[in-house]
Structure 1
Amino acid sequence: MKDKRILFVSSEVVPYLPETELSSTAFNVAKNAHSKGVQTRIFMPRYGVINERRHQLHEVIRLSGMNLVVNDMDMPLIIKVASIPKERMQVYFIDNEEYFKRKAVFTDEDDDLFEDNDERAIFFAKGVIETVKKLNWAPDIIHVHGWMASLLPLYLKEFYKEEPLFTESKIITSLYNNPFEGTLDESLADKVKFDNICDEKIATIKTPSFTNILKSAIENSDAIIHGSEEISEELTSFIEGKDIPVLEYQTEDLKESYLNFYADLISAN
């Protein structure tokens, strides 16, 4: 795996957000890959709760400045970067004043989902891909963590399917037991359809529940990892209907098992 390239895209990463199974796993597998000579890039949203001064975030002017279209609206993309202390690992932050300035992550003070979480997810997916294109950095593996990042596989396989930078990239989605109640905005599918993604490909997210968003990610991934010990029976059954590799939940030697899974997927090309 030395000198291979892995793009880690996560809705949460420590130390920038509190420690959870998802935020810790996303960090630890990236850290281990990096320590073994793998070239890594980590992307996450720049939520307003992240302390930019403490974590020494700074804007990358050469990467910022473009507008992303979300539901026929031009939304400015700001790219910030920081280095994880002691690890020499760079983390890229997708930022936009409208979507990510608020001092919260997914929910308001009443614990209700933000009404624009659907657009935030679209913006994040497009922002990651456009930034990687600007970096001209072709990843061997793209590893997705968290529902906020789960539109990325759909956009890579459809909206960016002609993009040569990702022709050889293998997409892995990790599934976690961290559901939200209810659904995102019911017009999510229409907003995705605006990007010329056909009805067949957006059928799964017509009802944008936690489970359906992950089903869409599964449909557009080349492999799946169980990031939590308990995954819903509905998702487990859905995966069984797909002819793709699955790494079951790892209780021991998580780091090596992930690296071996990456290597097997790359060698299957």
Structure 2
Amino acid sequence: MSAFESKPIETVRDYWDARPCNLRHSTKEIGSRVYFDEVEARKYRVEPHIPSFADFNSWKGKRVLELGCGLGTDTINFARAGAHVTAVDLSMKSLELARKRAEVMGVADRITFYNANGENLSSIVPVEPYDLVYSFGVVHHTPHPDRAIAELRKYVKPGGTMKIMVYYRYSWKVLWILLTYGKGKFWKLADLVATHSEAQTGCPITYIYDCKEGQQLLENSGLRVTQTEVDHIFSYRIPDYVEYRYVREWYFRWMPNSLFRFLERKFGWHLLLTAEASK
């Protein structure tokens, strides 16, 4: 049994309410059009693999359920592409900004928002068939990820798709955390990763998965994993990054891009899983 299983979901909610994910991706007035534009630009600059993984344009005219919408960056892009989106988040602070963003961007009529815990999603969000169920960097922050996936499975229509990102165990990020903060104390790895997994320290729960564990997480709910990828190494110097300057660490600057991309696909922080429901 993981120590995370006994932690109340309220600790996760309070953590994200205190500082919604990507809140500081812009210095402009929070809630303004330029603020949201800069949040999106910074997010996709640092994580350029997200648009290709989400494949926004493929869901035009389709129904998309997103668990953990945060500030709504991906949510808005699904809606812009013509999808009908149901967006869910545990954090009311995040939802307030996501709703505001939908209004500012003129897509509020294509998005329905819910405040809900993914582990009991069906008690809040009506169970209906969706073409895509999507969750990027969220499921690993709940006490029982298997329960959240089992709930999400209820919404995938026959032949539908689930796309999930969870954190990868054998990643550069995990090694960096272990050496930088843990001084090699591998027996404390679970707590070290949770504490330092996000931009703001102190995240109460963060699970990590290898490829087999990630696949099993989805397949235990009756899905068939069709694609497994690893991507994303954060290569920027943090003191510069927090000042909105993009300067790579010296050990990445000398690398040819082809070598860096090779490393990302072997030791990236993001484990990207695509699965299908049987027809």
Range of TM-score over shorter length: 0.3 to 0.5
Rg bigger for which structure? 2
